[in-house]
């Protein structure tokens, strides 16, 4: 019983101790809970205070950044506007200077072009006047010489007509001619002297040569040196007059005209064979009869001899007709000289044409330079207009205030 009581009391004490411990533990737990709650609340307050300080700092920093950005934007805008204004003024001044320079260059080029054109026109007019004066002088001289030649030819033809009218009287003078030309050497010398006198009076020294020797060794009494394609023409003055004299003799010495014709034919053949040289002379030669009576006899009564001479390319002449032939040769020489002067005129005109060609080329080059300068000015105006429009667009741009998306994000995170 006592043990039971003791056990009961021990149990009670144990239970009491347990209750105490439980109560003590509960109290201690509540104290711990209160302490943890207080610490948690204190930590939350400190964290919230830190967040509030951070928020205030960020807000202040954002305000400072906004202010700084605004100031910088304003300064940048003012600086850009000043630079743009200075650049615009510079470009405007450059444009004015360029326009002025281009205007001065254009005026200078126009003045120079006008002076060059006037100078060249004056030179061309002077050159044309000189050429025209030379041409007129040459033409007047040519016309004068042609008229003189025509007058001489007409005079010679009139002389020939008079000679034809006087054939009978000249025929009556054959006796005196026979006495003068009785000797063969004297007759030859007389023919050469008469031929030389006629040729020297009609032609210049450069157009003839006496006692000319050909390449084959044959010597001609006289050679006419005419311009191409005529070339060299030989003249022979040795004519056989024996049978001609015997035709008019009295008594037994008188013969028929057959022997005379035979002599003439032989003489024509000799002239054709000796003095017509292919490649060296003309295709014709001249047989000079120093007596008009012999020439008249041949042409009046022996036309077959004239035809035969023409077939052999031998021209029968007398002093009068030879003068007409030489006058024609003189006209040919003068015509060639006139053509030579015309060639000089053509050369001068060709040179003048070349000068005109160079003038046209230089005018074209100058026109191209003027067009290029105009094109460059237009391009400069286009570039200036584009730059001005670009400056205007830059001036019209409004700089917005910077947004703060990150700050709002920090605020929302802080509030959480």
- Tens-digit pLDDT string for the chain (416 aa): 566 666 666 776 777 777 777 777 777 777 777 777 777 788 778 878 888 888 888 888 778 888 887 887 788 778 878 888 888 888 788 778 877 877 777 777 777 767 777 776 777 777 767 776 776 777 677 667 767 776 776 777 677 767 666 665 655 554 444 454 445 555 556 778 888 889 998 888 888 999 999 988 899 999 998 888 888 999 998 877 777 777 766 554 566 678 888 888 899 999 999 999 998 898 899 999 887 888 888 888 888 989 999 999 999 998 888 888 888 888 888 887 777 777 677 777 777 777 777 777 877 787 788 888 878 777 877 887 888 887 777 777 644 444 444 444 444 444 44
27 DSSP 8-state letter: H
Assigned token pair, 44: 């939350």
* Closest to 366 (Cα-Cα) out of 22, 110, 27: 110
Assigned token pair, 12: 């009670």
Contacts for 338 with CB less than 8 Å, ≥ 6 apart:
138, 142
Assigned token pair, 3: 């043990």
Rounded to whole angstroms, the Cα distance separating 359 from 120 reads 8
CB 247 within 8 A of CB 231: no
Cβ count near 364 (within 10 Å): 10
Could you tell me the maximum CA-CA distance found in the chain, to the nearest angstrom? Answer: 243
Rounded to whole angstroms, the Cα distance separating 71 from 269 reads 131
Q: Length of the chain, please? A: 416
Region of residue 171 (left: phi > 0; alpha: psi -120 to 50; beta: else): alpha
**What pTM did the predictor assign?**
0.41
Assigned token pair, 393: 């667009």
Rounded to whole angstroms, the Cα distance separating 101 from 87 reads 20
Q: Residue 25 to residues 18, 36, 79, 149: CA-CA distances in angstroms?
A: 10, 16, 78, 171
Residue owning tokens 């040919």: 332
Cβ count near 222 (within 10 Å): 21
Give the burial string for 121-155 (b: 16+ CB within 10 Å, else e): eeeeeeeeeebeeebeebeeebeebeeebeebbee
């Amino acid at each position: 019983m006592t043990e039971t009581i003791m056990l009961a009391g021990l149990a009670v004490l144990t239970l009491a101790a347990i209750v105490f411990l439980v109560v003590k533990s509960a109290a201690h737990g509540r104290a711990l809970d209160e302490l943890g709650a207080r610490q948690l609340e204190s930590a939350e307050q400190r964290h919230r205070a830190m967040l509030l300080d951070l928020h205030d700092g960020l807000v202040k920093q954002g305000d400072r950044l906004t202010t700084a950005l605004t100031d910088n934007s304003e300064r940048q805008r003012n600086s850009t506007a000043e630079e743009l204004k200075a650049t615009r003024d510079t470009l405007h001044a450059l444009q004015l200077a360029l326009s002025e320079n281009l205007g001065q260059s254009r005026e200078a080029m126009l003045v120079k072009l006008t002076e060059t054109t006037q100078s060249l026109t004056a030179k061309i007019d002077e050159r044309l006047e000189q050429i025209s004066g030379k041409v007129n002088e040459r033409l007047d001289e040519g016309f004068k010489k042609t008229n003189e030649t025509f007058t001489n030819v007409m005079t010679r033809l009139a002389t020939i007509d008079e000679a034809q009218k006087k054939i009978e009287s000249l025929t009556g003078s054959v006796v005196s001619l026979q006495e003068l030309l009785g000797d063969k050497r004297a007759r030859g010398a007389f023919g050469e002297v008469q031929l030389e006198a006629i040729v020297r009076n009609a032609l210049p020294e450069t157009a003839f040569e006496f006692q000319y020797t050909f390449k084959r060794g044959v010597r001609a009494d006289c050679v006419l040196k005419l311009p191409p394609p005529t070339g060299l023409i030989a003249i022979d003055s040795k004519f056989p007059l024996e049978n001609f004299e015997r035709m008019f003799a009295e008594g037994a010495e008188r013969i028929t005209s057959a022997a005379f014709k035979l002599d003439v034919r032989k003489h024509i053949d000799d002239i054709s064979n000796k003095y017509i040289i292919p490649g060296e002379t003309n295709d014709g030669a001249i047989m000079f009869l120093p007596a008009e009576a012999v020439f008249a006899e041949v042409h009046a009564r022996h036309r077959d001899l004239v035809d035969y001479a023409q077939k052999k390319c031998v021209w029968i002449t007398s002093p009068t007709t030879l003068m007409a032939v030489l006058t024609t040769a003189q006209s040919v020489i003068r015509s060639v000289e006139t053509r030579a002067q015309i060639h000089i005129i053509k050369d001068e005109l060709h040179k003048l044409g070349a000068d005109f060609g160079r003038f046209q080329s230089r005018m074209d080059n100058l026109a191209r330079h003027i067009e290029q300068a105009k094109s460059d000015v237009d391009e400069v105006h286009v570039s200036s207009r584009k730059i001005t429009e670009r400056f205007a667009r830059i001036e019209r741009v409004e700089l917005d205030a910077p947004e703060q998306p990150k700050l709002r994000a920090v605020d929302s995170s802080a509030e959480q």
